[in-house]
Amino acid sequence: MKHYLFAFLISFSALLVVQLPVFAQKNSKGINIELGGGVSLASAHVGGFYAHSSESTSRFAFGFFADKKLIGGLSARSGFFYNGLGRAHKAGEMEMQDEFSFFTIPLQAKYSFKKSPFSFYAGPQFSYLINATARPDASTRSLMTENFQRVNVSAAGGLLCAFTNRFSMGFEYQSSIGSNLDKEYAAILPADTKYQLNAYSLRAFYKLSK
């Protein structure tokens, strides 16, 4: 069932990418639609059972984003994107990578400064966990998806800079609200156990609508 859901989400994402330019040209009144993606420096706040130190690891994100002007410089911002998160850590002498793959929908407020290329945004993000893996080396992966919540809420905020009418770049910070661990799994672990994903991201955006 999970494989069918994953295939559906991939197909849906591909359809959106194909149809977005057409939609952007026909329905762009007050709506800006952008394709965007970039790299994330991801890590996790951990404790208890996962108390061994966390280090940052590189992940990536890509998808589409849209904002609708409300009043003055204020806009509503949303989208749909693949969001890669994770962390690096040591298990004894072994270098480990925890890798998480999410589909994420942000629901945020954006404010654009008058006569300035800069704008900022902030608000919640709602994510669905596709899978989570532990990777001791490039050729070995073990699934640990069932140990984590399928649905995750995080807070995110960032600063955008428009270099041209179509091209912009942004810097973002995101952090899970509460622990990402599955509640039943967490109940059998020490009481102070936590696992909260976070990341700093640098992304580029290309506006499709005129």
Res. 207: pLDDT tops 90: yes
Adjacent-strand bridge partners of 60: 39
Query: How confident is residue 120, by pLDDT bands cut at 50, 70 and 90?
Result: very high
For the stretch 38-52, pLDDT in tens is 999 999 998 888 877
> Which structural domain, as residue segments, surrounds residue 129?
2-207
d(C-alpha 73, C-alpha 57), whole Å: 35
Q: What's residue 175's pLDDT?
A: 97
Count of domains forming the chain: 1
Q: What is the pLDDT of residue 138?
A: 62
Which one has a higher pLDDT value, 111 or 20?
A: 111
Q: What share of the chain in percent tops pLDDT 90?
A: 65
More confident residue, 95 or 129: 129
CATH of the domain at 82: 2.40.160.20
Give the pLDDT score at 3.
45
Q: What is the pTM of this model?
A: 0.81
DSSP 91-160: ETTEEEEEEEEEEEEEEEEEEE-TTSSEEEEEEEEEEEEEEEEEEEETTEEEE-GGGB-SEEEEEEEEEE
Least confident of 13-17, 48-52, 169-173, 199-203: 13-17
pLDDT tens-digit readout, 63-119: 999 999 999 999 999 999 999 999 998 777 778 899 999 999 999 999 999 889 999
Question: How far, in Å, CA of 122 to CA of 117, rounded?
Answer: 17
146-169 pLDDT per residue, tens: 999 999 999 999 999 999 999 999
Question: Are 198 and 180 spatial neighbours (Cβ–Cβ below 8 Å)?
Answer: no
pLDDT at 131: 95
CA distance 102 to 171: 19
